[in-house]
Structure 1
Amino acid sequence: MRILFIIIGICCAISAFAQDGNDSVRINQLFNFDWKFKAGEISNAEDPKLDDRDWRKLDLPHDFQFEQPWDKSASRGRGFKAMGAGWYRKTFNADAAWKGKRVLLDFEGIMLTGNVWLNGRKIGGTDYGYLGFELDITDIIRYDTVNCVAVRASTGEMGNSRWYTGGGLFRDVHLIVKDKISIARHGVFITTPSISSQNAVVNVQVE
């Protein structure tokens, strides 16, 4: 019962902090829709001015390797699919209400490796597709014109695999807007180092 009271107290404290002021609103927007895709290596695909009208329109999640033809010479660990690369692009407008907040892009996974650009500037990436990552775009986002996100995904840089991995933006992407002082991604760590039938100790660490 004491554990329940402690958890309720923590939740109330977090709720009160989040509601301190009418502007303290967190936005977590699913960013999966209206992307464009093209397979292969594309020169200057990160350039916002690139003409991508002939690119394929799609929604995420998407696995470009699954769509490739079977290849007997390819690795069985990759499902007999040839390794390669693909590019994704998405444009969006920023809301003026986001000014003064932190604006982030959260990628749950890019298989197998990936790099991300915003408005032609490289902002980050990953060398391991099973781990998501967050990119702070607060100082790069534009409020006076359209923004362009470009992502290069590749299955070829990291060698073989023990199973079929797929390739591309195969998990969800989110656009997050939150206060400058806020809880970090996966920033809450809770342990119960001591538990008995009468009581328990709960440690909460928040970044």
Structure 2
Amino acid sequence: MLPLSVHASLQPNQSERNYIELDGPWRFAKGDFPTAMQPEFDDSRWTTVYIPHDWDAEEPFGPQYASGTGYAPGGIGWYRLRFNLKPEWTNRLIWIEFDGVYNNAKVWVNGHYVGGRPYGYSSFSCDITPVVYFGDRPNLVAVRVDHSCFADSRWYTGSGIYRPVRLCISPKLKVAQWGVYITTPNITSTAATIAVQVTVENHFEAFQTFEIINSIYSPANDLTAVSVAHDQIDPKTNKTLTTLVTVAVPKLWEIHSPMLYQLETKVIAKDGTTDSVTNRFGIRTFRFDPLTGFYLNNKPLKIKGVCLHHDAGVLGAAVPKKVWERRLRILKEIGVNAIRTSHNPASPELLDLCDELGFIVMAEAFDEFCPGKNKWICGWNSGVPAKFGYAEHFHQWAARDLADMILRDRNHPSIFIWSIGNEIDYPNDPFTHPVLGNQFKPGHPNAEEMVKLARPLIALAKNLDPSRPITMALANLQMSQAVGLPELLDIVGYNYQEYRYETDHAEFP
């Protein structure tokens, strides 16, 4: 790959990438309908709704449901929407993107199954190019959401397509979804080196040459730096390229002045067809010192954080961005500077606001591995708990879900830690160990399993983003230390165990 002068670049056409928000009106109905994925199915009597939508927030709550999920009913629901595509998009790629569907989503377009996702907090997309129509003939997208196992969590989850949905129309030579990775390896007061890694996909049957242009815009929206390069790519493959760009006299992303730059990435084919994506980023450094704590831009910062679940009380899980903004501004006023996304991938809107308002974020992936935790139905530690939940999908989906969270969110300057799990080591829920003494339960899985499950997730996270430390929120250090789990982590989280701080720090300086 040869860097070229900006004056040698091709004259790009306007970007061929388009986004269309699919907020509605959608048709919606509770219940299961075996043929609802077919275009000819009659949905005329269904309710009209707009996305984001959480049907639990609209339903009667009741004691027959589970205390752990707020006595919400869950169930099965279907969504249907018709849309048209312009004839000039015939030779483009068409994708449908979901920011979050709770849960067990399955998606059909024009009667064809195109994909889905079990985990209710993961963003996912489906390639619908082979099954769509262009012009006057409408397309039909149908989504089945199965939250019939309503006692599947330890908090209110909501049900439905509770985060935004959109169509993505792009050329066949394109930037991959979440395919831009921005880091700032060297920062001084006079210059910052920006490393830009771009993954390009070639969906053509033929070899392609292309130009890639990375343009950085300052917080004042002034063009600050440009890099240009040429490369080539084989048919039906992807290719990752890395370039270094220098920003003079960088404005740092700080808690009290969160300066945000924008990177526009263009991939230009030989015929001038252009794909373009924009990513925000911040220029900042951070580090941890075992004796003196956390430093942002080489200045000590006391982390004053709160845990935020994904819902907004009576509004349910379909939270408007204005509500998140109001909450964060109130937290800012009382001195909060850090957010933990308890205990799952957060909405893109929340992370955008943390970037804009100056919060540092611990982004968390999971509340359980496998086997699952207790999900209380009749009150905490009362009766027989359910065991439904993410554990049912962990072995098949955990690596994919963690990878997608990191790929989607790794350009947010607010994120400073990845957490792969919350209280996975809570004693006997489900893991146990003889070190627990008279609390040891031989019938439960041995705590050594936690290490086996955590190790590949940590390796995956470090491979996708070596710039951030990995943590877990541990609830029983006695058991975790007995099997060596903390030794795998860069930062060890202590839940409910403040009494161990001094002794453990002395033992593990």
Partner Cα distance (1:136, 1:82) in 2: 32
In the alignment, what sits opposite 2:193? 201
TM-score by structure 2 length? 0.36
TM-score by structure 1 length? 0.84
Query: Is 1:161 matched with 2:148?
Result: no
1:26 equivalent among 1, 12, 17: 17
Deviations 1:56-113 (A, max 9, x none): 1121111112222112121122210123110000111221011111111111111122
How do residues 19-168 of structure 1 correspond to structure 2 at under 5 angstroms?
A: 20-21=12-13, 24-143=15-134, 145-157=137-149, 160-168=152-160
- Note if contact 1:113-1:157 (Cα within 8 Å) is conserved in structure 2: no
Letter in 2 for 1:148: L
Using the TM superposition, give the Cα deviation of residue 156 of structure 1 relative to its aligned residue in structure 2, in angstroms.
2.9
Deviations 1:1-33 (A, max 9, x none): xxxxxxxxxxxx7xx77x7235x4221111111
In the alignment, what sits opposite 2:182? 190
Partner Cα distance (2:114, 2:53) in 1: 22
Letter in 2 for 1:128: Y
- Of structures 1 and 2, the one with the larger relative CO (CA 8 A, separation 6+) is 1
Partner Cα distance (1:150, 1:197) in 2: 53
Using the TM superposition, give the Cα deviation of residue 192 of structure 1 relative to its aligned residue in structure 2, in angstroms.
2.0
5+ residue gaps in structure 1? 1-12
Partner Cα distance (2:18, 2:73) in 1: 39
Using the TM superposition, give the Cα deviation of residue 194 of structure 1 relative to its aligned residue in structure 2, in angstroms.
3.1
Change (3 A) 1:157 1:80: closer
| Structure 2 residue matching 1:205: 3-state secondary structure | strand
| Structure 2 residue matching 1:169: 3-state secondary structure | coil
Deviations 1:169-196 (A, max 9, x none): 1111111111111112211111122334
Report runs of 4+ in structure 1 exceeding 6 Å deviation. none
Letter in 2 for 1:98: W
- Percent of residue pairs bearing the same amino acid type: 37
In the alignment, what sits opposite 2:504? none
Using the TM superposition, give the Cα deviation of residue 198 of structure 1 relative to its aligned residue in structure 2, in angstroms.
5.0
Partner Cα distance (1:78, 1:147) in 2: 36
Partner Cα distance (2:149, 2:92) in 1: 36
Letter in 1 for 2:174: S
| Structure 2 residue matching 1:50: 3-state secondary structure | coil
Letter in 1 for 2:157: T
Aligned-residue Cα RMSD (Å) equals 2.0
Corresponding pairs, count? 191
- Note if contact 2:86-2:134 (Cα within 8 Å) is conserved in structure 1: yes
Letter in 2 for 1:184: A
